[in-house]
Amino acid sequence: MSGGPAGPSAAALARVQALLQRRTPRLVAIDGPSGAGKTTLAEAVVAEWRSDPVLVQLDGVYRGWQGLDEGAVELHQHLVPALLAGRPGRVRGWDWSRSRVAEPRAVRPGRPLVIEGCGAFAAVAGHPRAVRILIEAPLGDRRTRALRRDHGAFDPYWALWETQWRRYRARQGGRTVPDLVIRA
């Protein structure tokens, strides 16, 4: 799983930048369904943000195709609290090509943290100062982009992943209100 060509417009990126300037957060979550443009948005935000944030992508944390919830919990319980307390954190990775746990990545404290991926809001749950950005796109567009970007590797898993996404969003319900919604 990886980012694709879909992404935010210049106007959407400007809205995100304005929000970050107003709030000056230490923690940003960019959430949304597969193929909506989360990765492209996150990479643009990180490239433009002068505070030199650290980007952690949930795609590198999920434990396989049924790991959406587990990936978010991993960051929520281990990485986010450590960094917000000023301690080094670790991200246990996932090797998609071998379907096994990969070497963990060390993350040093002191820089803003941007978490990108399906489940990012759950990763920052309970942190009232976190900025939450939801990116959405029509189902047909998302599916086309997601299947095209992974050259067939994602095809057998699209329905499984979309089901996990929908269940996650249903559980989030009205509990998580985004600070900004971008429609790609």
48 has a pLDDT exceeding 50:
yes
Domains in the chain (CATH in brackets) are: 11-183 (3.40.50.300)
Model confidence pLDDT, tens digit, residues 56-109: 999 999 999 999 999 999 999 999 999 999 999 999 889 888 989 998 999 999
Q: How does residue 173 score in pLDDT terms, banded at 50, 70 and 90?
A: confident
pTM: 0.93
* Spatial distance between the Cα atoms of 149 and 170, rounded to a whole number of angstroms: 27
* Spatial distance between the Cα atoms of 2 and 38, rounded to a whole number of angstroms: 10
* Spatial distance between the Cα atoms of 139 and 33, rounded to a whole number of angstroms: 9
Mean pLDDT to the nearest integer, 48-58: 93
Mean pLDDT to the nearest integer, 177-183: 95
Model confidence pLDDT, tens digit, residues 112-155: 999 999 999 999 999 999 999 999 999 999 999 999 988 888 89
